[in-house]
Structure 1
């Protein structure tokens, strides 16, 4: 290897974006090898096996982890590298690619995303924050993007059960179907030590600005400000929620009278019949404790 060459672990999700970009993993490995890097590629039959194999290979020592796929693969990477000082990179080849959006990377063109990764490998990695979620009797879960714990989480849960349509429109269809039966939940929140009890349609805790393939929940979110953004939608009629959501996709909801934003370092959420998702991956039922860890991630970006 040359002086600038790195030992890189490449983890590939072959079913990302419903298999539309199956060749991106091989193309990534080929480009990295041609550039003189020492590369080990992992591509397993399912996500859980891939996660275990990636953890094992990472423990053997690498200079960086590259994931090929969507935000589920970002979640895999973040939960391996957070706090270690080892950087990770992403070649966006999934459905949503929201962390790539937040980082200003190409998010809808895997070839351009690979070009961006190659250009970043000789530069100092970018340092960003991460969040960590703690639940009783469960291992901590790290996230780079957004924790959903309300209507948005139920939509995510429904979308993950759907096989069609393929692409971001699946999330929109799940949203419409979930609206038919949704009612506000009663939450107990403690935000930087301040307790509040209230009903809400949606509660999200954000490090990044968007989820669901560009649904801009928190337009002003900053990946490296050392803070999380709490987004609350107060009770609305179904018609009112239907009217708000098109604005959310464009980030034009911030002035709505039933929308509230708060900034915090530590958030606890309690509610019945509510499941939390982080970076699009299921975490589990509330209650949860969520905390920002400034500078916990280094990214090839």
Structure 2
């Protein structure tokens, strides 16, 4: 232990651990940025301009972009609150064009970024204000329906097995068992075997008694049969300051939700793309 005198104070130091002594090296690095020449830029600009002229429809643009060596970047949802397209800086003009164009139109060439990106935009579709069409959400709906139908089939098979104990449920075909520890009500329980957060596990644990066997429950990633095997009360005392902080954070989140509701109900037209 050492008392080290500094200009403003004395510091008491004690070495608790020490790593192995190893050789260290100082390396000189010469770095030079790779910058394209004006001739290279002009050639890329001319080649891209010719490509746009030759592929002036959306169908041609999509069909031939990658064959010509260009990257095709599909953007399914473009919002007026965004500041650019494709993650490219200084692409505001292309964004403005997208909100003024008609379906099927192809833009001209935009020089973006720090004069190191070139961009052409084609408008494939416009989602009218309101609910999306069935075709636009069919993939998401299909996943939801398949999950519900699979759960119905599994629950019917469980019921047909007439199982009355946890061991009998474990013996069912393709059954997976897991122990979920430290179930609290601050967040959904995480089931490691399914790699999924399952709110229904926490909900059942809040009302079940130790040893009580549940009926089959449909969860987010599977059908569960739950049986609490232990209940422990945490040795915590009421902390008024911590409780006040928790309530303040909750009220802040609720205020944000209320503001969003006001925003939606006021029918605000977001035109930030015109200015930023």
User: Which structure: greater strand fraction?
Assistant: 1
Normalised by the length of structure 2, the TM-score is 0.21
Larger Rg: 2
**Which structure's relative contact order is higher, taking Cα pairs within 8 Å and 6+ residues apart?**
1
Normalised by the length of structure 1, the TM-score is 0.19
